[in-house]
Structure 1
Amino acid sequence: MEPKKVTTTNKYPEKPITIIVPFSAGGGMDLIARAMEKTASTNLGQPLIVINKPGGGGTIGWNELASATPDGYTIGITGVEVILQPLYGSTKYHYPTALEPLVQVSSNPFVLVVQANQPWKNVDDLVRYAQQHPGQLKFGNAGTGTLSHVYSELFAHDVGITTDPVPFRGASESLIALLGGHIQAFFANPAIIEEHVKNGTLRVLAVTAEQRMTDPVFADVPTFKEQGLDIVFSYWIGVAAPKEMPIEVKAKLANGLKAIIVDPEFQKNLETIRVQVDYLNPRESQKKWLDDNQKLSKIVQETGILDRIKEQKK
């Protein structure tokens, strides 16, 4: 494949910049892109144009991003799936090498949640129940191979229990199933369950962060580490560009995106949608990609998720 030829001028950016969102309007990535759009003209020197390209668990949008001319006029929102999807061996591009991260915008831990009318008060209670009822604990997830599935399997693997994984088309369907008592537990983004925790219908048993959360609704929830389990992860969202972008364009973009992220208006908008700002620069983001690639690769192999996905594809 011939390298993509790029001609640049020192006047970059001279026109609006397209930002691809690989999921539907209204989701977490889309809301972040729209919040960035609001202050882009001031901080980047040009407007951002948000284009939604949903489908294939993010792959349709990321394929378009990876094949775009690396001139700084096409960038895209990324999430942990940019690492996960290639591990399952079905992507057109290997995103960790076809794309380069410009910034990390946010990261949020997940929480292990159950119905409040269940007797389980902590992780040990849930594990004991699963040991007494092998294969009967219905563990919902946002789809086979998604991060919520990966970590429910890691949890089961680490504590030595067998569960019944139940895939749904996204986290909101999992939440409805949990509220209806069709599943007993799932790993959720705190933002989508907060109201149900406040009104007492759901109970949170553990959080996947290094430290307890500062949000008063979750401040009393112990970490997995406190309960003797090495389950620490967060769902991050960032911005990436196609590989081979000229150094000066990449630097201008990275600085402009940083200016958007530290802008008080942007931070306030993210607070409203319960997203935690967690800025990383290009080098730090690249390290995060490498670390997560190593970690997730090990998990999907050890828990048998990789084999299961390969079976499904046959």
Structure 2
Amino acid sequence: MRLSISIGLATGLGLSLASALTTVALADDFPSKNVQYVIPFGPGGESDISARLQQKYFEEITGEQLIVQYMPGGGGAVGWSQLSDMPADGHTIMGSNLPHIILKPMGQDVGFKTEELNNFFYFHYSPDAILVRNDSPHETLDDLIQAAEEAPGAVTFSGSGTYSANDVANTRFQQLADVTTTYIPFKGTGAAVTALLGGQVQAEWGYTTVAANHQDKVRMLAVASEERHPMFPDVPTFQELGYDMVGGAYRGMAVPEGTPEDVQQQLSDIFQQINQNPQFREEMQDLGFVLMDVPLEEVDAFMAERMDVYEASARELGLIE
């Protein structure tokens, strides 16, 4: 009896050890194939631009490719509502944007809930900004406000979707400036920029990244950062002009529910390593991005903080009482 117990125990320990070693080996082999990076917007926006820059460094680190795909619709909701049905092995990731993933599910059914998205890393944000074409008669923010005062609703803005950072910024600005404008949501920043450049709208709620990418075509009137952006030292902040506006769009990544924790950690580590690469940082900063590092272990606290902020925005937008 003692012998059989000892043999059984030894066998059990051997299997457990073998299982543990196999798990470690699998973890060390990740990724074992190309990773599909789904952008829940159309091409040309900030999510797409940053993903394209990450591709080179991802391949240098892992030896595998980062394949960018698009799933636009519903201001990101189409993609996020399908994330849970995608393979949960770490080889499929999706862009995760704030405030979108918090505001959209509030008070309505958009096919997903905030807590269903497994965010593993947030890596940059873009400060909100008001942009006009270079040939616009609106030279300053005061010019734009005056036009809105003289003809309520006549000043049109493009923006990247409903309940996005742009939508939040527009609602906040209307309240602070006591004006009425017309906000037209588009499927991502790329489409919103096209609308501005094509003359479909008079202005855009965009970001510093848009101004950096189209310096010869657009003019930035004000930026929602605490300090002037180093690329645009002549552009005042909203706070300087008397409007208490600081904010923008935060971008990160999520995986389907059920993706192993160790795989999520490795993905977080990989993208944090990319984020700390000096060349990548320079490329991102030259495009107007503001880099940040929120790794897996800090994501929950970061999301809780943003939730508090966006609940106040949701009340302003009428999503909740």
What TM-score bracket applies, with the shorter chain setting the length?
0.7 to 0.9
2:117 pairs with one of 94, 99, 104: 99
Are 1:108 and 2:120 counterparts? no
Are 1:164 and 2:182 counterparts? yes
C-alpha separation in 2, matches of 1:158 and 1:231: 9
Are 1:130 and 2:148 counterparts? yes
Contact 1:43 1:257 in 2 (8 A): no
- The one-letter code of the counterpart of 1:299 is S
C-alpha separation in 2, matches of 1:142 and 1:243: 26
C-alpha separation in 2, matches of 1:195 and 1:49: 23
2:101 pairs with one of 82, 100, 117: 82
Q: Could you tell me how far 1:128 is from its partner in structure 2? A: 4.0
C-alpha separation in 2, matches of 1:230 and 1:26: 30
1:15 pairs with one of 24, 29, 32: 32
Q: Could you tell me how far 1:242 is from its partner in structure 2? A: 2.9
Are 1:221 and 2:240 counterparts? no
Are 1:56 and 2:70 counterparts? no
Structure 1: runs of 5+ lacking an equivalent: 1-6, 308-314
Consecutive aligned runs of 4 or more in structure 1 exceeding 6 Å deviation: none
SS at match of 1:214: coil
Contact 1:157 1:303 in 2 (8 A): no
C-alpha separation in 2, matches of 1:282 and 1:232: 25
Residue aligning to 2:157: 139
Q: Could you tell me how far 1:178 is from its partner in structure 2? A: 4.1
Residue aligning to 2:296: 282
Residue aligning to 1:310: none
Q: Could you tell me how far 1:210 is from its partner in structure 2? A: 1.5
Q: How does 1:1-314 map to 2 (within 5 A)?
A: 9-11=23-25, 12=27, 13=30, 15-16=32-33, 17-44=35-62, 46-80=64-98, 81-87=100-106, 89-94=108-113, 96-115=114-133, 120-179=138-197, 183-194=201-212, 198-199=215-216, 202-215=218-231, 218-271=232-285, 273-304=287-318, 306=319
Q: Could you tell me how far 1:241 is from its partner in structure 2? A: 2.0
Structure 2: runs of 5+ lacking an equivalent: 1-19
For each residue in 1:159-200, what CA deviation from the matched residue of structure 2 results, as whole angstroms up to 9, or x when unmatched? Answer: 22222334445445544554565533321123333466x54x
Q: Could you tell me how far 1:77 is from its partner in structure 2? A: 1.9
C-alpha separation in 2, matches of 1:234 and 1:115: 21
Which shifted more, 235-244 or 270-279? 270-279
For each residue in 1:85-133, what CA deviation from the matched residue of structure 2 results, as whole angstroms up to 9, or x when unmatched? Answer: 2236232221x31122221122111211235566655444433443343
For each residue in 1:38-68, what CA deviation from the matched residue of structure 2 results, as whole angstroms up to 9, or x when unmatched? Answer: 2224434654343433333323332332334
Query: Could you say which structure has the larger radius of gyration?
Result: 2
TM-score (norm 1): 0.78
Identity fraction in percent: 29
Contact 2:42 2:190 in 1 (8 A): no
TM-score (norm 2): 0.76
Residue aligning to 1:3: none
Contact 2:31 2:91 in 1 (8 A): no
CA 1:86–1:179: 2 relative to 1, 3 Å: same
SS at match of 1:10: helix
SS at match of 2:219: strand
Contact 1:44 1:257 in 2 (8 A): no
C-alpha separation in 2, matches of 1:298 and 1:34: 34
C-alpha separation in 2, matches of 1:19 and 1:182: 31
- The one-letter code of the counterpart of 1:209 is S
Q: Could you tell me how far 1:135 is from its partner in structure 2? A: 3.2
- The one-letter code of the counterpart of 2:70 is N
